[in-house]
Homo-oligomer: A and B are copies of this chain.
Amino acid sequence: MTKNTKVKAAILIIGNEILSGRTQDTNTSSIALWLNSIGVKVNEVRVIPDIENTIVDTVNLLRKVNDYVFTTGGIGPTHDDITAQSISKAFNLEYEIHKEAFKILESYYKLGEFNEGRQKMVWMPRNANLILNPTSGAPGFNIENVFCLPGVPSILKSMLGGLKNKIAGGDPILSYTISLKTVESEIAKSLTNVQDKNKDVEIGSYPFFQAGKLGVSIVIRSEEQGKIDNCVSQIMNFVNNKNIEIVNR
């Protein structure tokens, strides 16, 4: 029985450092894997620069066509951290000191260390809901369906757990992987047949070259275990018929 398989999200990575190639984004994968586990499917990811108008327009577009939007980056203390002020503008809300966030950071830092730079991090859209940060104090926040998280991967990861109760997902998206010692062209036709017979299951084929091994991973994704099982048995049929070696399943 599926509850709701249509819960969809967009991830918005804010930061020149990703666009320049200097920094490798890893937050997409962390957020997507976590969302899958609570039944939310990522529909789209965008990476945009630290430019206010671009952030405002993109957030306003994405929040209307997705159940949830997760932003990463731009909530630190420096001049290039403009996410909170941009979200305020997007929602037409005052950008102001958030009293609860102020208290949290005031007690987090030692006396005299809660300086002007750090105080920037408590400026948020009016009535923002805080997302607690067990790693480094400074909270993220959400306004309606837009959740703003930091860009530093370890801090972001530590904050996802606290979000769980704020997200109404559907059934978890299950997946099963079969890794074969073969090449894609060898199984392409048979795999197309399986996909054609199971149109509502997502079947992906991904070549790998790892640890000196060359092969193909077939990934089957659905909210329903039964549908995955059906595909797996159909795939195993042609795998056995073709005498293909199974690396892992």
Contact = CB atoms under 8 A, between A and B. Distances in A.
A13 B44 CA distance: 10
Contact of A78 (B34, B191, B202): B191
Contacts of A187: 78, 117
B42 A28 contact: no
Q: How many copies does the complex hold?
A: 2
Contact of A29 (B21, B44, B79, B205): B21
A44 B48 contact: yes
Interface in A162-189: 173, 175, 184-189
Given A49-B43, A191-B78, A202 B16 contact: yes
Residue in A16, A24, A78, A173 with the greatest tally of chain B CB atoms within 10 Å:
A78
B16 A79 contact: no
A29 B24 CA distance: 6
A47 B44 contact: yes
A36 interface: yes
A189 B117 contact: yes
A100 interface: no
A109 to B, nearest CB: 9
Given A44-B47, A46-B46, A76-B205, A116 B188 contact: yes
B115 A219 contact: no
Interface in A1-56: 13, 15-26, 28-36, 41-50
Nearest to A26: B24
Contacts of A41: 19
A211 to B, nearest CB: 14
Nearest to A11: B47
Contacts of A98: none
Given A43-B49, A186-B117, A191 B21 contact: no
